[in-house]
Amino acid sequence: MGRSRRKGRVIDGILLLDKPAGITSNGALQRVKHLFGAAKAGHTGSLDPIATGVLPICFGEATKFSQFLLDADKGYIATIQLGVRTTTGDSEGDIVHERSVPELSDEAIESCLDSFRGEIDQIPSMYSAIKLNGQPLYKLARQGIEVERQPRRVTIMTLTLLERTHDQWVLNITCTKGTYVRSLAEDIGELIGCGAHVVGLRRRQAGPFAIEETCTLEKLEDLKAENGERALDETLLPVSAAVADYPVIEMTELTASYFVQGQPVQIAGVKEEGLVSVYSEAMENKIFVGVGEILDDGKIAPRRLIAT
């Protein structure tokens, strides 16, 4: 028997979803995939159920480039509750202990936050999605099993206080991939000496994408109800948007033909280094062909290619 065909529409592009609170990232993905009737889709980095905000969802060819969004910097607005520590580091967990919150001056708060700016080592929560022998840590945690976790080096580029009361802080955070805001909140609480956990988290930025560009599930549902399934395609960004913040390299159609066959190619005058977004100059249009990496000899080698 032949292989069965994938069910659903073949769609290529990126949807910027404003994930609502109360559902997992996978739950949001499945709802979006169903709305679009898409054959293939995936999200680019989990948000906890309590979290809202930017969740890029890749369709079709865009799934090839999801890793670049996973690797991108992220931005958050986090509300942390001081004086209470929970099992999960957020408001979904059980309370482990409660302590009084000390009176802190503006200078003391700034000194505390400054301790976490720049490169830091962070021990991931047992309730993270990091896998041990193929099993997510959170599944072990729910069985009452705790294992040793190795510290991870992350970078906090921005950590500023937006608002505060005696026992709550609202923080603006910009950080590298792999940063756990729950762990950051817990570490801040321990430094103060009272414990802390996250009670609100909104992702405002994911790589080149900002919260202002997102669509809600409700908007998508209304658009489909009014105009049909295919009207949803108008909400999609092109596949190239996944690497919109990469330097752009343009190739002639002939050079691009070698590049898409997997061959490193020489481009005169290339000054960038690292990963680049590659376009082919076809007729009067520029066609996105994939992501390349500039090698030490100046050639550009293909790293991820779009199907042509």
> 160-190 burial, b for 16+ CB within 10 Å, e for fewer?
eeeeeeeebbebebbbbebbbbbbbbbbbbe
Coil, strand or helix at 306:
coil
The residues annotated with a catalytic role in the active site are 48
CA–CA distance from 231 to each of 37, 64, 88, 226 (Å)?
Answer: 12, 24, 40, 9
Closest residue by Cα to residue 220 from 19, 22, 8, 25: 19
DSSP state of 260: T
Residue pair 74/175 in contact by the 8 Å Cβ criterion: yes
